[in-house]
Amino acid sequence: MENVFVVTGASRGIGAATAALAADAGYRVVRASRSAEESVGDRGWDARCDVSSWDSVQDLMARVESRWGRIDVVFANAGVSVDTSFVSTAGAKPSEWTNMVVTNVCGPAFTARAAMPALMRSGGHLVLTGSAAGRGVRPGNLYSATKWAVTGLAQAIRAEAVGTGVRVTVVQPGLVDTDAIPPSRADDPKLAPEDVGRAVLYAVSQPSTVDVNEILIRPTGQAAHR
């Protein structure tokens, strides 16, 4: 039975690039996103899923395991970003912050909880998208705080998963060339989405005795504080 790789936030950017690389590596790939038009083939599946909804994520994992018999890798990648400030009216209004926090924090938590039974059965691998921004202080940046949360979440899941055979990796990219780049950083060095995808494939391709806990990856020339 062929291994199955589930990617959330797979409609563009890091998710789309990683899904393509996983397919090239021989996985059956589930490309999950809120905007997906449901389509199932022998090796690829475009699946609709809203990671901010526990019911939606639970339903996705149940459908995948029922149809394809197993889940071997889950890449909890879906996320959003808005500009924020705590001392001025710049950026998004506070009423717009909730979706980002729920998507970026509850989303990977829901994904992990829904996927873990299948991953324990397969001895699989959970990968979460964090951020280099989640490793240091970014003034007024709530997005950065959500990615601090993802790092803590990965550590908490890994600690609880000891003895289950499930490996847990958090990938922390620096600036990536996607449509989420703020205008102020348009000229900064950037990673291609495929650069991050290759880091994910590196982690999941290691022997079952090797658990790559964290990968920090920045474009050459990006300052550590950015």
Catalytic residues: 143
Q: CB 126: neighbour CB atoms within 10 A?
A: 24
Q: Which residues pair with 28 in a beta bridge?
A: 4
109 near 41, Cβ under 8 Å? no
**213: CB partners within 8 A, 6+ apart:** 154, 158, 168, 169, 170
Nearest 5°: CA angle at 208, between 205 and 210? Answer: 80
32 near 48, Cβ under 8 Å? yes
